[in-house]
Amino acid sequence: MTIETSSFTVASQPSGLRIFFRNRASAVGTAVLILLVLLAVLGPVLSPYDPLSIGVGETMAPPSLTHIFGTDELGRDIFSRASLGVGVSLFVGFVAAAMSSTIAILIGCISGYFGAFVDDVLMRMTEIFQVIPRFFLAILLVAFFGASIVNIVIAIGLLSWPESARVIRAEVMSLKNRQYVSSARIAGASTASIIFGEILPNALGPVIVNATLQVGQAMLLEAGLSYLGLGDPNRISLGLMLHQSQEIMRTAWWATALPGSLIFFAVLAANLVGDGLNDLFNPRARAR
Amino acid sequence: MVEATSKANGGDAVATDVAAAGKARAKRGIRFRYARYVARRLLQAVPIIVVIVLINFTLIQAAPGDPVYALIGQMETTPEYIAQVREEFGLDEPLPQQFLSYIAKIATFDLGYSFRFRQDVSGLIFERVPATFLLMGTALVISSLLGIGLGVIAGRRPFGWTDNAATIFALAGFSMPVFWLGQLVLLVFALKLPWFPVQGMVSLRAPSHGWGYIASVLHHLVLPATVYGIYHLTLIFRMTRIKMMDVLVQDFITTARSKGAGERRVLFVHALPNAILPVITVIGYNFGFMLAGSVLVETVFGWPGLGRLMYEAINARDYPLLLGLFVVISLFVIIANVLTDIIYALIDPRILYR
Amino acid sequence: MQWMRMLAFAAGAFCAALMVATPPVAAQQRGGTMVIALSGEPSALVGFLHTDTGGHSIAANIFSGLVGLNEDFEPVPELARSWEISKDGLTYTFHLDPNARFHDGVPVTAEDVAFTFNDVVAKYHPSRGSWWPNVESATAEDEHTFVMKLKKPFPPLLTLLAYQLRSGAEILPKHIYEGSDPMTNPANEHPIGSGAFKFVEWSKGSHVVLERNDDYFMEGKPYLDRLIFQFIPDPNTRILAFERGEVDFIDYTAVPHNEVARLAKDPRFKLLTGADAIAVQGMWLLNVRKGPLAKNEVRQALSYAIDVNEISDKALFGAGRPAHSFLNSNLKWAFNGSYDVYDRDVEKANELLDEAGYPRGDNGIRFTINILWAAGRPYDGKSAEIIRDQLRDVGVTADVKTYDRPTFIEKVFDQWDFDTAMQLYSTGPDPAISVVTRYHTKQINHSPFTNAMGYSNPELDKIFDEDASEVNEEKRKENWDEAQKILMQDLPAIPVFEFPDGHLANARLMDAVTGPYGYFQSRHNAWFKD
C-alpha cells in the first residue's frame, strides 16, 4: 500500500545514525552507556569478592591491588558492590523510564486520537499529576509502602509521565488527520492498529528523547530517595552506596568516589544520548 | 476534532472583534480577557486541588505507621495514652467523616492543626515560604543567567566544540546527585577554604540587624543557591540551545547579518528575544519540580524551607500538615503556571483565546 | 544501690545544697553563646507532651525540676533545696527554694509543683503509666513544702524525678496553665519556666534561642548569655558545622560515630562522657511467638552465631562497646556480664540448630528470618547487615528490611509483624524503671518500646515485681543478678552493643556536662574559657 512510504519512521532513514553520531558528545554518551551496561553484566562475574560479604578486606582500606577501589566501613569490596550497583541503578532508570513512557503513550494516544470528552478527562488528570509535587509524592509513596526497589521504580514511573503524554497528544492530534491515516481508516483498519500501527511510529521521536532523559532522572531520584534513608537495603544501588558511604566520606574518600562518579557518568551519558536523539528528531538540526 | 475546529473559529472571531474595536476599548477588552482568563484558570484549580487532597488522603490512610508513634519520642508508653492522643486529634473518627470535615475546613481556608508541631498548619507553612522562595529565586536567577548564556553559545554553532563543551558543562551539574554535589561543595568552600558558612540561613552566634542581617543571609545563601542553580540550569540551557538553533537559520537573521549587524548584536538583540519565550515556559512549568526538589538541598545545607517541612511531615505522619503542604504547593504551582501563561500572552496574545 | 546513700544524703541535703550553691573557687568566666546542634526539630518545648530528647534538651534549660543528679547518680537540689523520705519509704517531703521565680516574676510555690503533677503530668505525659499509678497523692503542704505519697515504696523515685525525659517533672506555672487545655495552651509556644534560661524565639525549621535568666534562683548562675539550639538534620553537615566552629556541642544521640576518634584528637575539640545514666543498649529483638525463634535453643544458637565484637567494631566504628548483658555496664551496681557465654562459636550454633529440628536443606539453608530496622539509624542498619552475613555461616538466611520510623514502630510494636528487629533500649537510670518495661509479661501490650517479643517468664515477672518496692540495696543487686541470668538464658533479645555515650564539645566549653544526663541537662554550669 501507499501508506507504507509515508509512514516511514524518521529514525530508520539512513542519515539518522550519522546525524546522531555527528554530535560527538552523544557518541561518547553512547559509548559510556555501553561500557556501564557491560560493567553491570560482567562486573559481578569478574569481581573476585562477594558484594554482600562483610570483612573481605580490612575496613576502610584505601584502593590497592587487592581492592582496586578500596573497601567500605564494613570491609566490603567497593568495586564488587559498585558493579552490582550499576546494574540496579540502570534497572531503576530504564524500567522507570519505560514505565512512564508506556503510560505517556497510552494516555497521549487515547487523548489525542479520541479528543472531546476523553481528552478533557485525561488532560485534567495529566494536569493533576503535573501540579502535584512529584518528588514529595515519591517520598510519600516509598516511605509509606516500603523501600523496596519495585516500589521505588513504580513511584518514579507513575509520577514522570505527564510531559511525555502531552507531547504525544499534540503529535497524535496533528497526525491523525493526515492522509495516510484516513486511508487506513477507510481501508477498515481497527482503531488500535491505526493508533499504534500508523500514528504512533511517527509520533515516537520526542517520546524516545524524553524517555532517555528520564533514565538519568530516575537514577538521580532513586539516589535522592536513598539519601533520605528510603533506599532498598537488599538491592545495592549506586545511590544507596553513595548514601551509606557519605558517613565515611571524610575518612575514606574512595568510598563515595566510585559510586558517585558512576552515577555521574551514567546520568551524564543518558542525558548526552537524549540530547543527541533530540537533535536527531529536530528537523532543523537535521537540515544542517 | 470538530470541537477543536469550532474552538479555533471562535478564537478567530473574537480576535477580529478585538481588532475592529477602538484602541481604548481593545485595551480594556484585553484587560478583561486577562482577568477572565486568570479567574477561569484559578477556578479550574479548585477541582484539581480537591482531587489532590483526595489522592493524598487515600494514600495517607492506606499507609502504615501511626502519627501517635511519631509524637511520643523515645520512651515507652501505654495503650491508654495512645488512645488518648488518637482522640485528641480526631483520629478515632470514621475516615469519610475525617475527609469531609477536612474539605469543609479548607473551603474556609483553614488548613487544620499540625500534630507534630501542635500549631496551625497555615502558620507553619507560611513561616517557611520566604526561606524557600529566597533560595529558589536566587537559584533561578543563577540558572537562568548561566543556562541562557551557555545556550546561546552552544546554539550558535551546533555540534562545534563550543557546543559540545557547553553541553557537557550544563549536563554535568544535572547529572550529579545534588546531595553529593552539596557535600563536596561544603567540603571545599566551607571547610578547606572557609569562605562560606556550612549551614543555616543566618549567623546565630553574632545576631545582626538591618544591613548586617541581609549580608549574613546572602552569605549563607551563596552555596545552596549555586548548587541548586547549577542543578536546574540544564533545562534552561537545553531549551535555549534548541531555540537558538531554530531561530538562527531563519530569514530575518540572515537579513540582519547581511545588513552588517555584529555577531553579538545578532545573537542577543535579534535572535535571543525570539528564542526566549519557550525558555520562560520551561522556567515557569518547572516551578513545581524545583519546589519539590528543594528538600535535598535544604537538608544538606540546613535551610529552613518547605522541603524540610514536607519531609518532616511525612516522617511524623502529620496528616494535616502533609495535606496542607500539598494544597499550598499545588496552588503555588498552578499560580506559577498561570503567571507563565500571562507572560507568554503578553508577548503572544492569542493564548488568551484558547 | 543508692538507696542507703540516698537516705544518708537526704539527711544532710541542706548542707549539700549550700555546698553546691557556692561556686567552686575556679573563676568561671561570664558571657558567650553556646550553640547546640540537634538532629531534628522538637515537637514541643514543654516536657509534658513528649519524651523527645531534642525537646527536653531545650526544656531542661527553661524549666526546673525538683531534683537533679550528680555524676555519682546522687540526687542534688534543684527547685527542692532539701527533702526528707519517711522511714517506710512512702512519703517524700520536698522543701522548695523560696527564691525561685518564674520568668514572668511570679514566685514558684508548692502549688505549682502539685498542679504540674496532678493536672498535667498525670493526665498528659506519655510515660506516666510506668510510675504515676503508684502515687497516692501529690499535695502542697504550705507555700514551699510539697509532699508526694506513694502506695508502695519505689526507691528509684528521686532518680526518676531527676530524669525529666521520662518523668516529665518540669515544674509549670500554675497561674498560666490553670483552667486551660495544657495541650493547646499558647504558652507552649512561648514557654515560661523557672530555669536558668529564658525563652526568646523559636524560628521553626531552624533554631531556638534562649537567653540568660538574671533572676535564676541559683546564685550567680548561669554564666552564659545565650543558648542556641540549631536543627541540623544531615549528619555530615552537622559535623562540618561543628568543625567550622558554628556549633559548640553535639550530644551523643547526634554525634556521627565515625568522626569521634578523629575529632577527639583535635585540640580544638573534646569528647565528653556523661550519658551514662541513660545506658543505651543496641538490642536484637527476637519475636518468640512463632517459627524457629519460639525455641530457646534456636535463639541461643543465633547468639552463638553472631560476633558482637565485630558488630560494635564496624557498625559503631569502635566508638561503642560490645554488650554482654541486658543491663548496660554503666549501671555498675547491677551489671553482671558473666552470664554471656555466647562467644562466637559456629560449630556450637550449628549443633544447636540441628538439635532444635532445623537441619540444613539441600541448598544448605535451614530457615529464613527477617531483620527489621528503622531508617535514619545507620548503626542499626549496619548491625543488621553484619548479622545477615554472620548468619550465613550457620545456614540461616536473613532478609534485611528497612522502614521509616512510624512504620517500623507499627510493624514491630503494634502488629508484632516481624521475626527480628534492631532497636535501642535504654536500661537506665534504674533498671526498675526501664528494663522491667521491656520484658515483663504485663508489657505485652501493643505499645511502643515494650515487650513486642511476646516473651513471658513468670519467674522473672516475680523478681521484677518484688524489686519494684525493694528497699534493700543488697537485695536489689541479687534481684538484678538473677534477672540477668534468666534473660541471658531465655534470650527474648540478644544484647549487641552498648551505644557510644560521648558528646563532642568545643574545647573551650567548660562544665557543660555535670551529671549523668549530659545530653539534655540544663546548662546553668557551662561557661567558656578564653
Instruction: Specify the DSSP element, H or E, that contains A282.
Output: none
pLDDT, tens digit, 9 for 90 and up, residues A258-267: 999 999 999 9
pLDDT, tens digit, 9 for 90 and up, residues B187-206: 999 988 889 999 888 888 88
Residue A14 has pLDDT above 50, yes or no: no
Q: Does B288 touch chain A (CB under 8 A)?
A: yes
pLDDT for the residue numbered B349: 62
Q: Name the nearest CA neighbour of C13 among C90, C91, C66, C71.
A: C66
Residues C335 and C321 sit within 8 Å (Cβ to Cβ): no
Asked if B38 and B159 sit in the same domain, the reply is no
> Which DSSP symbol is given to C229?
E
Report for B5-19, B274-288, C321-335: range of highest mean pLDDT: C321-335
Q: Do B127 and C53 touch (CB under 8 A)?
A: no
Instruction: Give CA–CA dist C325/C339, Å, rounded.
Output: 7
Instruction: Give CA–CA dist C125/C136, Å, rounded.
Output: 17
pLDDT for the residue numbered A12: 45
pLDDT for the residue numbered C65: 93
Residue A4 has pLDDT above 80, yes or no: no
Q: Mind giving me the DSSP string for B193-206?
A: STTS-SSSSS-SSS
What does residue C281 show for φ and ψ, rounded to 5 degrees?
-115, 140
Which amino acid is present at C202? W
Q: CA separation (Å) from A258 to A68, A85, A249?
A: 10, 11, 12
Return the C-alpha cell found at B65.
Answer: 505507621
Report for A262-271, B143-152, C19-28, C450-459: range of highest mean pLDDT: C450-459
Asked if B274 and B161 sit in the same domain, the reply is yes
As a whole-number percent, the residues of chain A with pLDDT over 70 amount to 91
pLDDT for the residue numbered A203: 78
Instruction: Write out residues 155-194 of A within 8 Å (CB-CB) of B.
Output: 173, 176-177
Residues A234 and C400 sit within 8 Å (Cβ to Cβ): yes
Q: Does A73 touch chain C (CB under 8 A)?
A: yes
Q: B274-283, C32-41, C182-191: lowest mean pLDDT where?
A: B274-283
Which positions ≥6 away from A83 have C-beta within 8 Å? A39, A40, A42, A43, A44, A46, A47, A51
Average pLDDT, chain C: 90
As a whole-number percent, the residues of chain B with pLDDT over 70 amount to 89
Domain of B310 in residue numbering reads as 128-353
Residues C371 and C342 sit within 8 Å (Cβ to Cβ): no
Whether B137 maps to a domain, the answer reads yes
pLDDT, tens digit, 9 for 90 and up, residues C89-102: 999 999 999 999 99
Instruction: Give CA–CA dist A236/A248, Å, rounded.
Output: 17
Q: Do C447 and B79 touch (CB under 8 A)?
A: yes
Q: Residue B343: which pLDDT band, with cuts at 50, 70 and 90?
A: confident
pLDDT for the residue numbered B29: 67
Residue A279 has pLDDT above 80, yes or no: no
- Chain center to CA of A244: 23
Whether B316 maps to a domain, the answer reads yes
pTM score:
0.86
B-chain residue closest to A246, CA distance: B180
Which amino acid is present at B214? I
Across C5-21, average pLDDT:
45
Ramachandran area for residue C283 (φ above 0: left; ψ -120 to 50: alpha; else beta):
beta
Whether B75 maps to a domain, the answer reads no
Residues B5 and B344 sit within 8 Å (Cβ to Cβ): no
Whether B92 maps to a domain, the answer reads no
Whether B69 maps to a domain, the answer reads no
How many other β-carbons are positioned within 10 Å of the β-carbon of residue A31? 13
How many other β-carbons are positioned within 10 Å of the β-carbon of residue B347? 11
List the single residue in C128, C189, C413 with the smallest CB-CB distance to B119: C189
Q: Do A246 and C388 touch (CB under 8 A)?
A: no
What does residue A95 show for φ and ψ, rounded to 5 degrees?
-65, -45
Instruction: Specify the DSSP element, H or E, that contains C129.
Output: none
Q: Name the nearest CA neighbour of C343 among C392, C298, C299, C309.
A: C309
Return the C-alpha cell found at C411.
Answer: 510493624
Domain of A122 in residue numbering reads as 19-44+68-286
Whether B81 maps to a domain, the answer reads no
Q: Do A268 and B167 touch (CB under 8 A)?
A: no
Distance from CA of A101 to the nearest CA of B (A): 18
List the single residue in A128, A271, A285 with the smallest CB-CB distance to B158: A285
Instruction: Write out residues 120-179 of B within 8 Å (CB-CB) of A.
Output: 158-159, 164, 167-168, 171-172, 174-179
Asked if B216 and B348 sit in the same domain, the reply is yes
Which positions ≥6 away from C418 have C-beta within 8 Å? C285, C287, C370, C372, C411, C412, C452
Residues A244 and A190 sit within 8 Å (Cβ to Cβ): no
Q: Residue B28: which pLDDT band, with cuts at 50, 70 and 90?
A: low
Residue C330 has pLDDT above 70, yes or no: yes
Q: Does A268 touch chain B (CB under 8 A)?
A: yes
pLDDT, tens digit, 9 for 90 and up, residues A85-95: 999 999 999 99
Asked if B56 and B143 sit in the same domain, the reply is no
Q: CA separation (Å) from B185 to B32, B178, B194, C234, C245?
A: 49, 10, 11, 15, 18
Q: CA separation (Å) from A83 to A34, A45, A59, A153, B290?
A: 14, 10, 19, 20, 31
Instruction: Give CA–CA dist A100/A215, Å, rounded.
Output: 10
Return the C-alpha cell found at C380.
Answer: 542499626
Instruction: Give CA–CA dist C151/C92, Å, rounded.
Output: 12
Residue C154 has pLDDT above 80, yes or no: yes
Residues C95 and C144 sit within 8 Å (Cβ to Cβ): yes
B184: domain CATH number is 1.10.3720.10
pLDDT, tens digit, 9 for 90 and up, residues A175-212: 888 888 888 888 888 888 888 888 888 777 778 888 88
Chain A residue numbers touching C239 (CB-CB < 8 A): 250
pLDDT, tens digit, 9 for 90 and up, residues B71-110: 777 778 888 888 888 888 777 778 778 778 888 887 787 8
As a whole-number percent, the residues of chain C with pLDDT over 70 amount to 95
Instruction: Give CA–CA dist A101/A93, Å, rounded.
Output: 12
Instruction: Give CA–CA dist A7/B125, Å, rounded.
Output: 53
Q: Is the dihedral of CA B341, B344, B349, B354 positive or negative?
A: negative
Residue C406 has pLDDT above 90, yes or no: no
Whether A200 maps to a domain, the answer reads yes
pLDDT, tens digit, 9 for 90 and up, residues C384-393: 999 999 999 9
Average pLDDT, chain B: 80
Rg (CA), chain B: 25
pLDDT for the residue numbered A187: 84
Chain A interface, best mutation among C310, C380, C404, C411, by max A CB count within 10 A = C404
Residue A16 has pLDDT above 80, yes or no: no
Residue A288 has pLDDT above 70, yes or no: no
- b/e A80-117 (16+ beta carbons within 10 angstroms → b): bbbbbbbbbbbbbbbbbbbbbbebbbbbbbbbbbbbee
Q: Do B172 and A268 touch (CB under 8 A)?
A: yes
More confident residue, A167 or A218: A218
Q: Do C314 and A234 touch (CB under 8 A)?
A: no
Q: Which domains does chain C have, with CATH numbers?
A: 280-498 (3.10.105.10)
Block residue for cell numbers 502519627: B67
A217: domain CATH number is 1.10.3720.10
C-alpha dihedral, A90 to A94 to A99 to A101, nearest 10°: 150
Whether B99 maps to a domain, the answer reads no
pLDDT for the residue numbered B348: 66
Q: Please count the structural domains in chain B.
A: 2
C-chain residue closest to B307, CA distance: C205
C-chain residue closest to B70, CA distance: C406
Residue C428 has pLDDT above 50, yes or no: yes
List the single residue in C258, C384, C386 with the smallest CB-CB distance to A248: C258
Q: Please count the structural domains in chain A.
A: 1
Return the C-alpha cell found at A53.
Answer: 560479604
Q: Do B116 and C43 touch (CB under 8 A)?
A: yes
Q: Does A140 touch chain B (CB under 8 A)?
A: yes
Q: Do A275 and B63 touch (CB under 8 A)?
A: no
Return the C-alpha cell found at C389.
Answer: 552475613
Return the C-alpha cell found at B340.
Answer: 507563565
Return the C-alpha cell found at A137.
Answer: 509524592
Q: Do B52 and A264 touch (CB under 8 A)?
A: no
Residue A129 has pLDDT above 60, yes or no: yes
Pairing of strands C269-273, C249-250: unpaired
Whether B120 maps to a domain, the answer reads no
Q: Do C50 and B71 touch (CB under 8 A)?
A: yes
Block residue for cell numbers 554530535: A23
Q: Does B65 touch chain A (CB under 8 A)?
A: yes
Which positions ≥6 away from B187 have C-beta within 8 Å? A249, A250, C240
C-chain residue closest to A76, CA distance: C386
Q: Residue A147: which pLDDT band, with cuts at 50, 70 and 90?
A: confident
Which amino acid is present at A50? D
Q: A210-214, A237-241, C117-121, C393-397: lowest mean pLDDT where?
A: A210-214
Instruction: Give CA–CA dist A237/C286, Å, rounded.
Output: 29
- b/e C461-491 (16+ beta carbons within 10 angstroms → b): bebbeebbbbeebeebeebbbebbbbbbebb
Last residue of one domain, picked from the residues B44, B64, B84? B64
Q: Do B51 and A135 touch (CB under 8 A)?
A: no
pLDDT, tens digit, 9 for 90 and up, residues C353-377: 999 999 999 999 999 999 999 988 8
Last residue of one domain, picked from the residues B30, B64, B98? B64
Instruction: Specify the DSSP element, H or E, that contains C425.
Output: strand C420-426
Whether A276 maps to a domain, the answer reads yes
As a whole-number percent, the residues of chain C with pLDDT over 90 amount to 68
